[in-house]
Amino acid sequence: STVLMRVENSEVLLCDGVATVTDENKHRFVEFLERWKLYEGISEQINAMAKGLGKVLPEDLRQEMHGLLTPMEIAQLLSGLGTLNVEDWETHTAYTHGLHKESNVVRWFWQVVRDWANSEEVLLPQLLQFVTGSARVPVGGFSELVGFNGAKHAFTLAGANHLSKQALPVAHTCICTLDMPPYPDLETCRHKMTQMLRLGRSHFDEGAGQAET
């Protein structure tokens, strides 16, 4: 009978009738363990993902992509780019509701973003996700950014004079837009943007009722 070895909470086939790893069979065991970890142990999830992908991309298109693109390129087409270029971001940003490139709050916004890029780069994808719903950008960069309806929609900064100078920025992810209150200076803008991300990543019961820091 086949003997299965238990690895953590899973069973891995070593070989028929053998239940002990020794110096002689350890390489064989590692081969089986690797196959289990990478394929067999997650086969149900992989099959579900493949089924879903098949509904989005027909078989003939997948075969064509397979011949033209590397696996990494296909992953980028599906998931987007993880590296954010601040210059590209700023170049392809739109402004509305009274804001323009030379508005104080716009200049302060980009100063904070550039400072994060130099010292706290992890905050950049958090900012993008807060405003757009995704921490990645499409292949082609920010010029290819899309809203929730699938149509192209530029990252947008909107004036929010209806909000107080101590309010947090407000995101509209379906249209990739961030409402910026009329902050009086750079440091207030920096503090509110940082607080926005901190509270935006908290569960309701974690963020509610917290004193400002």
Which residues are marked as active site? Answer: 174
CA angle in degrees (0–180, nearest 5) for 16-19-25:
80
30 by DSSP, 3-state: which? Answer: helix
| Angstrom distances, CA of residue 12 to CA of 27, 39, 91 | 14, 12, 53
Whether 145 contacts 167, CB under 8 Å: no
Please give the single-letter amino acid code of residue 122: V
Give CA separation, 112 vs 22, 24, 163, in Å: 57, 59, 20
How is 123-185 classified by DSSP, letter by letter?
HHHHHHHHHHS-SSB-TTGGGG-B-TTSSB--EEEEE-TTS-TTSPPEEEGGGTEEEE---SS
The pair of structure tokens assigned to 65 is: 């992509």
Phi, psi of 146 (to 5 degrees): -125, 155
Of residues 147, 130, 157, 1, the one with CA closest to residue 138: 147
